[in-house]
């Protein structure tokens, strides 16, 4: 070994081994300090509300549709503005006698016809004249409507297919978050018509 190490080639040959031994015999470097887990950024009520509105499917009925490459898709330029006022619906759908089909909807999925007459998805944007802005609606009215199923929390029944019985199971905090989010979205002026009564029925009380 001694003789071997004396030669230049020997040193060269032995060097990697020496390095390797040195490397192995050294204590492992201290583990890099674990990055501090960033505290989850606090979610504002409006941010929480956005999640609830998105997964709660509100856009399915309250946002009109446009034709995209794969068929109808929500027209987000009119997000949550309800049934488009320019699409006039004059009378309820009349299923053929004996037909298994009972309900109908427009291709925007914003007007719905059934035994209750015709309902039109409301404008949920903060527009002052036609939406939830303008002081007619308030957080309190909004919560009452979604919890009691009464129009604006006090009058006629909210009509199908508005799935308020599901949403009424949300906590007040979550419903307030939805309200807070809806106040932040772009206002869209769109006057949604009043519901139509079923064929042959007296006009529904407002």
What is the binding site for ligand HEC (CB under 6 A)? Answer: 53, 56-58, 60-62, 112, 119-122, 124, 142, 145, 151-152, 158-159, 161-163, 167, 178, 195
Between 13 and 189, name the residue whose CB sits nearer to ligand HEC.
189
Between 14 and 89, name the residue whose CB sits nearer to ligand HEC.
89
Minimum CB distance to ligand HEC, residue 46 (Å) = 13
Minimum CB distance to ligand HEC, residue 119 (Å) = 4
CB neighbour burial string for 2-35, b if at least 16 within 10 angstroms, e if fewer:
eeeeeeeeeeeeeeeeeeeeeeeeeeeeeeeeee
- Geometric angle at alpha carbon 97, from 94 and 102, rounded to 5°: 50
Between 56 and 133, name the residue whose CB sits nearer to ligand HEC.
56
Query: Which residue is it, tokens 């204590």?
Result: 27
* DSSP state at residue 120: E
Start-end of H helices in 74-167: 139-148, 164-167
Minimum CB distance to ligand HEC, residue 195 (Å) = 5
Between 44 and 54, name the residue whose CB sits nearer to ligand HEC.
54
């Amino acid at each position: 070994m001694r003789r071997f190490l004396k030669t230049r080639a020997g040193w060269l040959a032995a060097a990697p081994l020496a390095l390797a031994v040195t490397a192995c015999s050294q204590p492992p470097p201290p583990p890099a300090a674990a990055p501090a887990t960033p505290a989850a950024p606090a979610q504002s009520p409006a941010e929480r509300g956005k999640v609830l509105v998105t997964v709660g499917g509100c856009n399915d009925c309250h946002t009109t549709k446009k034709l995209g490459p794969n068929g109808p898709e929500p027209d987000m330029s009119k997000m949550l503005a309800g049934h488009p006022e320019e699409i006039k619906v004059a009378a309820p759908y009349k299923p053929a006698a004996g037909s298994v089909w009972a309900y109908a909807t427009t291709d925007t999925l914003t007007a719905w016809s059934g035994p209750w007459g015709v309902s039109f998805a409301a404008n949920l944007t903060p527009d002052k004249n036609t939406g939830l802005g303008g002081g007619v609606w308030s957080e309190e009215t909004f919560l009452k409507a979604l919890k009691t199923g009464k129009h604006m929390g006090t009058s006629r029944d909210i009509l199908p297919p508005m799935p308020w019985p599901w949403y009424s199971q949300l906590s007040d905090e979550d419903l307030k978050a939805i309200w807070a989010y809806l106040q932040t979205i772009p206002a869209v002026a769109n006057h949604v018509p009043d519901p139509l009564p079923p064929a042959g029925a007296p006009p529904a009380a407002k």
